[in-house]
């Protein structure tokens, strides 16, 4: 198990565009080790996802998993997914207001608009191609992680900075209303 250091907002690497991974690179021990380390680091930090640039590797790779996540207990289950060279496109104009945090932005959450329905094409760690639709909070998680590959943090998408809270103050003042709203949303749109 190798947990890597997570870069924090202010580190210029988080603002770079990550580059595509070739099939040869993906099969290499170094990139397979990076993927293992991303999974270990995501698990150690209780993240719902992590992207390679967050550990300083400017490659278009992210891992996503939601399994009774204590940071995000209302999120629908997402099996461990290794996402390489993702291409994401909205299926329509419908958006929702999500409340997000990020392992690279310690102790801050805020409201961002995300597309409800997206199509995502990617390779898994073996190079197999996937072309799938993701909806709701799961779509939001994919959008958040793909943003990292273009040097974008959720902070850039916070449309009302008055929604910013620490995690403690979110729990204290905002969690109940958000969970009620988002639970109805998840029931309506699925994942």
Question: Known catalytic residues?
Answer: 145
Nearest to 103 by CA among 154, 140, 173, 32: 154
* Stretch of residues binding Ni ion (CB under 5 A), selected from 10-18, 56-64, 101-109, 114-122: 101-109
- Give the residue with the Cβ less far from Ni ion, 21 or 147: 147
Q: Are the C-beta atoms of residues 34 and 57 closer than 8 Å to each other?
A: yes
Helix (H, G, I), strand (E, B) or coil at 190: coil
Residue at shortest CB range from Ni ion? 102
Strands annotated E in the chain: 49-51, 61-66, 78-90, 95-102, 105-115, 117-123, 129-135
The reply on whether position 83 binds Ni ion by CB under 5 A is no
Binding part of the chain for Ni ion, among 2-10, 22-30, 102-110, 128-136 by CB under 5 A, reads: 102-110
Q: Does 48 bind Ni ion (CB under 5 A)?
A: no
Comparison of 42 and 102: residue with beta carbon closer to Ni ion = 102
**Nearest-CA neighbor of 20 among 85, 92, 99, 96?**
85
Quick check: 102 binds Ni ion (CB under 5 A)? yes
- Whichever of 17 and 188 has its CB closer to Ni ion, that residue is 17
Q: Rule CB under 5 A: is residue 6 a binding residue for Ni ion?
A: no
Q: Comparing C-alpha atoms, which of 108, 61, 104, 63 is closest to residue 86?
A: 61
Nearer to Ni ion, 35 or 153 (CB): 153
Applying CB under 5 A, which residues contact Ni ion?
102
């Amino acid at each position: 198990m190798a947990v890597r250091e997570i870069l924090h907002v202010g580190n210029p690497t988080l603002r770079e565009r990550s580059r595509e991974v070739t099939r040869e690179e993906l099969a290499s021990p170094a990139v397979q080790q990076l993927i293992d380390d991303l999974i270990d680091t995501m698990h150690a930090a209780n993240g719902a996802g992590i992207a390679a640039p967050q550990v300083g590797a400017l490659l278009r790779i992210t891992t996503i998993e939601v399994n009774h996540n204590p940071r995000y207990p209302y999120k629908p289950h997402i099996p461990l997914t290794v996402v390489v060279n993702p291409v994401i496109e909205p299926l329509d104009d419908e958006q929702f207001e999500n409340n997000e945090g990020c392992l690279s932005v310690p102790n801050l959450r805020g409201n961002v608009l995300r597309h409800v329905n997206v199509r995502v094409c990617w390779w898994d760690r073996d190079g197999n191609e996937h072309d799938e639709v993701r909806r709701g909070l799961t779509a939001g998680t994919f959008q958040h992680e793909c943003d990292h590959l273009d040097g974008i943090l959720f902070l850039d998408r916070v449309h009302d900075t008055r929604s910013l809270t620490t995690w403690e103050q979110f729990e204290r003042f905002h969690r109940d209303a958000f969970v009620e709203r988002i639970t109805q949303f998840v029931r309506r749109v699925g994942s």
